[in-house]
């Protein structure tokens, strides 16, 4: 099965065309698309005004074009006679409209496998519930964690890996979405880790709290989660509002009911412990290099696990594959992958 990946929606400007912008998408980086355009017959190079990753780049581009259609230069071209800040505003609104929760609400559980990469555009007060089986023989899953988005347009990046990696207040794995370290990727306001067998519910309660727009993801690989915001918020005490800090004292009725519905789902297809203990027969998770080092040094199981986590730390190129060195001939790839036929029923 093909891997899920992300694409990049971009806004470009050119000083040779003042007051005009180009809005498009690419499966590479916005800067790579910029360089491709600069190799054509243009007197001056393009500049990347804005770039954002999403699992639905084609749909976001179409929605942004629809919003800017009143200023479109030509029906079959991606150029618009608007200021860059207006184009960026349209793209950010398009991300919410075309790549938000509704785009994922298929009524089925999305299977997330090794090598998948997802970009979820969230709205303020969207809720996420992490469900996990505490042990291999546990009869039921339990709610493990509760997350909350605090701004419209925040991005939740999900990257699956074959090995476990760090979570919590770690360094940002990809500060930029450009090899020249511009533009910024937003401010990281959360980093978490999911393990095989976990399920992640994404919920948007109605104003009265009785109903939710909802979807769910099931993980068969380790998954690093990074939350980014372009509008950082703080509490009344001046503390930053992070993904793992929900602000509501009580959860709406639909969040509770949706969690109960998800807890009634069949067992997941894969499972792994959060803290593998070799004494229980679990092999310590490690990259090949870290495993070899552990064998040669005959280190204790705890030291080997710590070395494995350090070895699995994602570099910017590992986190965002498009940051790596480009090949001369780039194969065409699908920009987004919708629901797969073997997904489990959600409810």
| pLDDT tens column, 314-343 | 565 555 565 565 555 444 443 434 444 344
Instruction: Between 138 and 328, name the one with better pLDDT.
Output: 138
Widest distance between CA atoms in the chain: 68
Opening angle at CA 174, ends 302 and 89, nearest 5: 140
Query: What is the reported pLDDT for 85?
Result: 94
Query: What is the reported pLDDT for 47?
Result: 84
pLDDT at 172 over 60: no
Query: What is the reported pLDDT for 168?
Result: 47
User: Angle at which helices 57-67 and 84-98 pack, to 10 degrees?
Assistant: 130
Structure confidence at residue 249 as a pLDDT band (50, 70, 90): confident
Q: Find, among 25, 27, 45, the residue nearest to 37 by Cα.
A: 45
Identify whether the C-beta of residue 230 lies closer than 8 Å to the C-beta of residue 186. Answer: yes
Structure confidence at residue 26 as a pLDDT band (50, 70, 90): confident
Instruction: Between 170 and 200, name the one with better pLDDT.
Output: 200
DSSP, collapsed to helix, strand or coil, labels residue 166 as: coil
Identify whether the C-beta of residue 77 lies closer than 8 Å to the C-beta of residue 38. Answer: no
pTM over 0.85: no
Q: Find, among 117, 101, 115, 110, the residue nearest to 268 by Cα.
A: 110
Q: Which residues of 198-211 are buried (b: 16+ CB within 10 A; e: fewer)?
A: bbbbbbbbeeeeee
Q: How far apart are CA 144 and CA 219, in angstroms?
A: 15
Query: What is the reported pLDDT for 178?
Result: 56
Q: Find, among 176, 234, 197, 190, the residue nearest to 31 by Cα.
A: 176
State how far the alpha carbon of 187 is from the alpha carbons of 202, 311, 312, in Å: 21, 25, 23
Q: What is the pLDDT of residues 271-319, one digit of tens each?
A: 999 877 666 666 555 455 555 555 565 566 566 556 555 555 556 555 5
Query: What is the reported pLDDT for 113?
Result: 93
Q: What percent of the chain is modeled with pLDDT above 70? A: 68
Instruction: Between 326 and 227, name the one with better pLDDT.
Output: 227
Q: Which residues pair with 145 in a beta bridge?
A: 130
Identify whether the C-beta of residue 52 lies closer than 8 Å to the C-beta of residue 9. Answer: yes
Domain map (residue ranges) of the chain? 7-98, 107-270, 278-319
Query: What is the reported pLDDT for 169?
Result: 46
Query: Which 3-state string (H, E, C) describes 286-344?
Result: CCHHHHHHHHHHCCCHHHHHHHHHHHCCCCHHHHCHHHCCCCCCCCCCCCCCCCCCCCC
Compute how many other C-beta atoms are within 10 angstroms of the C-beta atom of residue 9.
29
Worst-scoring range by mean pLDDT, 202-206, 226-230, 257-261? Answer: 226-230
Instruction: Between 66 and 297, name the one with better pLDDT.
Output: 66
Query: What is the reported pLDDT for 97?
Result: 95
Q: Find, among 159, 156, 104, the residue nearest to 317 by Cα.
A: 159
């Amino acid at each position: 099965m093909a891997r899920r990946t992300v694409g990049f929606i971009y806004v470009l400007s050119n000083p040779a065309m003042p007051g005009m912008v180009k809005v498009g998408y690419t499966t590479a980086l916005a800067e790579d698309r910029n360089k491709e355009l600069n190799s054509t017959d243009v007197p001056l190079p393009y500049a990347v005004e804005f770039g954002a990753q999403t699992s639905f780049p084609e749909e976001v581009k179409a929605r942004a074009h629809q919003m800017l259609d009143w200023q479109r230069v030509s029906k079959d071209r991606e150029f618009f006679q608007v200021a860059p800040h207006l184009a960026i505003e349209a793209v950010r609104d398009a991300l919410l409209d075309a790549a938000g929760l509704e785009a994922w609400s298929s009524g089925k559980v999305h299977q997330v496998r090794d090598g998948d990469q997802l970009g979820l555009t969230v709205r303020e007060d969207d809720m996420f519930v992490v469900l996990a089986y505490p042990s291999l023989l546990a009869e039921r899953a339990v709610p493990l964690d509760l997350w909350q988005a605090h701004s419209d347009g925040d991005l939740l990046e999900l990257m699956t890996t074959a090995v476990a990696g760090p979570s919590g207040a770690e360094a940002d794995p990809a500060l930029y979405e450009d090899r020249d370290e511009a533009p910024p990727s937003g401010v990281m306001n959360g980093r978490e880790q999911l393990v095989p067998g976990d399920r992640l519910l994404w919920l948007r309660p109605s104003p009265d709290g009785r109903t939710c727009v909802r979807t769910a993801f099931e993980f068969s690989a380790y998954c690093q989660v990074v939350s980014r915001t372009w509008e950082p918020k703080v509490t009344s005490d001046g503390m930053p509002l992070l993904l793992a800090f929900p602000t509501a004292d009580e959860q709406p009725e639909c969040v509770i009911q949706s969690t109960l519905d998800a807890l009634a789902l069949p067992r997941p297809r894969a499972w792994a412990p959060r803290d593998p203990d070799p004494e229980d027969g679990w092999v310590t998770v490690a990259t090949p290099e870290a495993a070899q080092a552990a064998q040669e040094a005959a280190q204790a199981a705890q030291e080997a696990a710590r070395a494995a986590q350090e070895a699995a730390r994602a570099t910017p190129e590992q986190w965002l594959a498009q940051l790596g060195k480009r090949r001369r001939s780039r194969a065409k790839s699908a920009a987004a992958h919708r629901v797969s036929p073997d997904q489990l029923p959600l409810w």
